[in-house]
């Protein structure tokens, strides 16, 4: 995929998340892997004003090209790409319910089988660190592990995937799960699925949604 197409796709991802109320103002950032590093949203520009040409190219040494500066969170994007060859795109939002749960510093446990879509029996909450730091990058990598999503304490969520579309959809699904968990906690104590069942569902999701090939 060309850099120009990636730039357009990042802008389109912002628009889709904003339309769902999950991405607003300057809260959040999105990136996509390139051959030499990644393209990422610029810092300090409101989401509604970001154009495809504004995406900033950053290499794996943290050097950037162009007049605009990259998102202040470029550190954890680079750290995740370094740690996970399977990750090609990262979506970070401050969506409401994921942020609420991150402020409680709660993991999202297996209260619903869809939690397993993030790659494990729970969605972990990373330890707190100041935004835009290497400490936050280390904490994000540790919380993700081999999974595809995590919360950042007192901050928001990270969703990673093989494509921008996959990372965006996962961010939307994690936000929905956080809202559902919040609602369940408001009524009482959610019944958690057994660990053996969550393990089965994690395995099932590895082949979930694959359609047979057609001629």
Whole-number pLDDT of residue 206: 85
Burial 129-157 (b: 16+ CB within 10 A, else e): beeeeeebbbbbbebbeebbbbbbbebbb
- Residue 212 in this model has a pLDDT that exceeds 70: no
End-to-end alpha carbon distance in the chain:
24
- Residue 4 in this model has a pLDDT that exceeds 70: yes
Report the percent of the chain where pLDDT is more than 90: 93
Question: Of residues 50 and 211, which shows the higher confidence score?
Answer: 50
- Token pair recorded at residue 60: 């794996």
CA angle 55, 162, 85 (to 5 degrees): 90
Asked whether the beta carbons of 87 and 80 are under 8 A apart, the reply is yes
pLDDT of 11-31, one tens digit each?
A: 999 999 999 999 999 999 999
Q: What is residue 152's three-state secondary structure?
A: strand
Whole-number pLDDT of residue 210: 64
pLDDT of 121-170, one tens digit each?
A: 999 999 999 999 999 999 999 999 999 999 999 999 999 999 999 999 99
- Residue 65 in this model has a pLDDT that exceeds 90: no
Q: What is residue 92's three-state secondary structure?
A: strand
For residues 78 and 30, give the distance between their C-alpha atoms in angstroms, rounded to a whole number. 12
In sequence order, which ranges of 35-133 are alpha helices (DSSP H)?
74-83, 96-103
Whole-number pLDDT of residue 1: 76
Asked whether the beta carbons of 126 and 152 are under 8 A apart, the reply is yes
Question: Alpha carbon of 205 to those of 41, 118, 120, 150, 160: distances in Å?
Answer: 30, 9, 10, 17, 15
Q: Which domains does the chain have, with CATH numbers?
A: 3-205 (3.40.225.10)
**Which residue among the candidates 48, 73, 134, 179 is catalytic per the annotation?**
73
User: Residues 49-57: what's their mean pLDDT?
Assistant: 97
Q: Is 179 a catalytic residue?
A: no
- Token pair recorded at residue 54: 């504004």
- Residue 214 in this model has a pLDDT that exceeds 80: no
Whole-number pLDDT of residue 215: 54
154, 125, 93, 206 alpha-carbon torsion, rounded to 10°: -170
How high is the mean pLDDT of the chain? 95
DSSP assignment letter at 25: T
DSSP assignment letter at 27: B
User: Residues 92-106: what's their mean pLDDT?
Assistant: 98
* DSSP β-bridge partners for residue 65: 57
- Pairing relation of β-strands 156-161 and 56-59? unpaired
Whole-number pLDDT of residue 178: 98
């Amino acid at each position: 995929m060309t850099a120009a197409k990636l730039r357009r796709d990042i802008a389109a991802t912002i628009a889709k998340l904003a339309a769902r109320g999950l991405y607003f103002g300057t809260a959040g950032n999105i990136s996509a892997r390139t051959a030499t590093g990644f393209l990422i949203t610029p810092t300090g520009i409101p989401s509604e004003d970001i154009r495809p040409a504004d995406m900033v190219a950053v290499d794996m040494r943290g050097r950037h090209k162009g007049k605009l500066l990259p998102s202040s969170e470029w550190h954890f994007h680079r750290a995740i790409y370094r740690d996970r060859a399977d990750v090609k795109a990262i979506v970070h939002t401050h969506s409401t319910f994921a942020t609420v749960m991150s402020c409680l510093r709660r993991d999202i446990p297996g209260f619903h089988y869809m939690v397993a879509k993030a790659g494990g029996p729970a969605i972990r909450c990373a330890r707190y660190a100041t935004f835009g730091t290497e400490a936050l990058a280390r904490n994000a990598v540790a919380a993700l592990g081999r999974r595809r999503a995590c919360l950042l304490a007192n901050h928001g969520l990270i969703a990673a995937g093989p494509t921008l579309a996959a990372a965006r959809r996962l961010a939307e699904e994690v936000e929905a799960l956080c809202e559902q968990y919040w609602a369940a906690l408001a009524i009482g104590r959610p019944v958690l699925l057994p660990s053996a069942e969550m393990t089965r569902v994690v395995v099932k999701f590895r082949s979930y949604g694959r359609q047979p090939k057609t001629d």
